[in-house]
Chain A
Amino acid sequence: MTTEIITDIAEAEQGTSLWKDAWLRLRKNRLALVGLVVLVFMIVIAILTPWIAPYSYETQNLDLGASPPSAQHWLGTDIFGRDLLTQVMYGGRISLAVGFVATSVALVIGVTWGAVAGYVGGRTDAIMMRLVDIMYALPFMIFIVLLMVVFGRNMLLLFLAIGAVEWLTMARIMRSQVQTLRQQEFVEAAISLGLSPGTIIRRHLIPNALGPIIVYTTLTIPSVMLLEAFLSFLGLGVQPPKTSWGLLISYGAETMEEFPWLLIFPGLALSITLFCLNFLGDGLRDALDVRRSKD
């Protein structure tokens, strides 16, 4: 048993080899690799959009109106006669940015909060988790409206607002993970070795809880993208003529019987991204699984 603890600690401390091993394992997972490649492709397209988009995203052709896919407009045009492919490309920029940035905000706050609460326990834990409960129970919409009115509307605030809401569940999951891990022998051993709480959290707890966190992160990105759509739809997010996939989908949903392509293509773009995120998330989870690596 003692030797096992020691290898555990050693493994966690050798951060570079852990990530190297993980990368080797990830490379064997074909679906995860496909996911990664497609995601990278999407991100590259998003970055290059202003230079490679086939049309201007705001120039209208009211006489053309909504037209189905054609040789000039591969994905068709929207009710303003604007090229849908261009809209989807520009929408992707915003959706991907919101998804990644807001999720990172949520991730940092949630993981730290949950890990500290779960590790320290006792009264600190009680106070920290009751704060989470309070945040959960607040009327979210009024909260966001106030934020937007008091601080003005800008993208950065949108990221922060969404991140500030999404970290709560992350904190709960992290805390329950840490609570379970804390009972494990290797953590007890680390405590008895006199390592500082910060080190234990960073070196032992977070790496060992990575699996569920990564899975939840891949779940958070889509829900953040949808939340952005909901907020934009309420007038609290992205302002026209800027657009996002979520917004394109909610517009498309209104006319899905008349102009189905306005719903199908943005929906496909979002769905493909989400599928890839999930394949990648699964692959990462398996690749980073500390315990399985010993097999």
Chain B
Amino acid sequence: MWRFISYRLLQAIPVILAVITVTFFLVRVAPGGPFASEKAVLPEVKRALEAQYNLDKPMFEQYMIYLGDLAQGDLGPSFKYPGRSVNELIAAGLPVTAELGLYALLVAVIIGGLAGVIAALKPNTAQDYVPMSAAMIGICLPSFLLGPLLVLVFGIHLDWLPVSGWGDIPGDKILPAITLGSTYAAYIARLSRAGMLEVMSQDYIRTARAKGLPEWQVVIKHGLRGGLIPVVAFLGPAFAGLLAGSFVVETIFQIPGLGRFYVQAAFNRDYTMILGTTVFLSTLIVLFNLLSDILAAWMNPRLRAQFGEK
């Protein structure tokens, strides 16, 4: 197992390096630039700006400078927010987004998992259709729609919950978590239902039932472990999607998170900020994919045996 983990961690290094390289050149080839505006920038001003950020040097030299700084953990200064370093912006945004993502995943796993498992126990009955249809609503209502709807109903008309903010007024974290989590709840419900159906028809479940175990023990002890494998495989990418996809929710609810900075950096062509967040997110994604692979392996005894042998 440890060999598997360290092997995968070693593999992650070229992945991240490739991401950095592709992104570095991609952003510089994309039309526009960090200092473009509708009031055209005078050539002398542009020269001075490019000199301050090393943009006047050959691209390969810029790349080497960037890698050198990165090796020392320095992601460089933000172009869009002079006076702020990318490290600082990430450090400010990450805890907020991670917290939001965690609550959202929690909402998603509890609601989606529950709906999926309940539905799978009695397929093609009302016990299946009702929770699954309810979970579907999350997919049918994109967050740019669900968010404002929730705000209008609970924030403005009922005046129960704050319309925006994060940690400013008690209760302001509820609506964002639900908005972000609901999309994923639907996905998880579908995947866990399919997984459970698959597993519940397997021979070892029949054996367990034949042994006379009560149905709930069969489901919890034997069913869940196998049935939730697709869900676990989905969680890694889901978390990554959550970090980048929290943009819409962060914007609607005025949450100072990483997702907002990341997407805005792309629009602003804030090269260092795009690169910094990409490096950071790709590291996280690789780690989370690894984590979900390990979890899936741990839940699947045969694969576990295989890793043990390696």
Contact = CB atoms under 8 A, between A and B. Distances in A.
Do A and B associate with each other? yes
Interface of A: 29, 31, 126, 130, 133-134, 136-143, 145-146, 149, 168-169, 172-173, 176-177, 179-180, 183, 211-212, 215-216, 218-219, 222-223, 226, 229-230, 246, 249-250, 253, 256-257, 263, 267, 270-271, 274-275, 278, 282, 285-286, 289, 291-292, 295
13 contacts: A126-B11, A134-B18, A136-B240, A138-B278, A139-B23, A142-B27, A146-B30, A169-B237, A172-B289, A173-B234, A180-B300, A215-B193, A286-B197
B281 to A, nearest CB: 6
A274 B194 contact: no
A139 B266 contact: yes
A133 B17 CA distance: 12
B302 interface: yes
B286 interface: yes
Contact of A229 (B12, B19, B129, B142): B142
Q: How large is the interface on B (under 10, 10 to 19, 20 to 34, 35 or more residues)?
A: 35 or more
Given A133-B289, A219-B186, 15 more contacts: A134-B15, A134-B18, A137-B282, A137-B286, A139-B26, A139-B27, A142-B27, A146-B30, A183-B302, A215-B194, A256-B148, A274-B136, A286-B123, A291-B202, A295-B201
B307 to A, nearest CB: 11
Chain B binding surface SS class:
helix
B172 to A, nearest CB: 22
Contacts of B152: 256-257
Nearest to A226: B142
B26 A212 contact: no
Interface string B187-214: 1001101110110011000000000000
A136 B237 contact: yes
Closest 8 CB pairs of A and B: A137-B282, A271-B140, A215-B194, A183-B302, A141-B266, A176-B233, A137-B19, A130-B15
Given A172-B233, A212-B230, A249-B145, A141 B278 contact: no
Chain A binding surface SS class:
helix
Contacts of A219: 139, 186-187, 190
A278 B145 contact: no
B100 interface: no
A224 to B, nearest CB: 12
B274 interface: yes
Contacts of A250: 144-145
Nearest to A271: B140
B105 interface: no
Contacts, number: 151
Contacts of A286: 123-124, 197
Contacts of B140: 222, 267, 270-271, 274-275
A223 B138 CA distance: 11
Contacts of A295: 201
A291 to B, nearest CB: 5
Nearest to A263: B145
Given A275-B140, A291-B201, A134 B19 contact: yes
B136 A289 contact: no
B22 interface: yes
Contacts of A223: 139
A134 B306 CA distance: 26
Contacts of A145: 30-31
A126 B8 CA distance: 9
A25 to B, nearest CB: 11
Given A146-B29, A176-B229, A179-B303, A249 B234 contact: no
B194 A173 contact: no
A246 B306 CA distance: 46
A140 B302 CA distance: 36
Contacts of B229: 176, 180
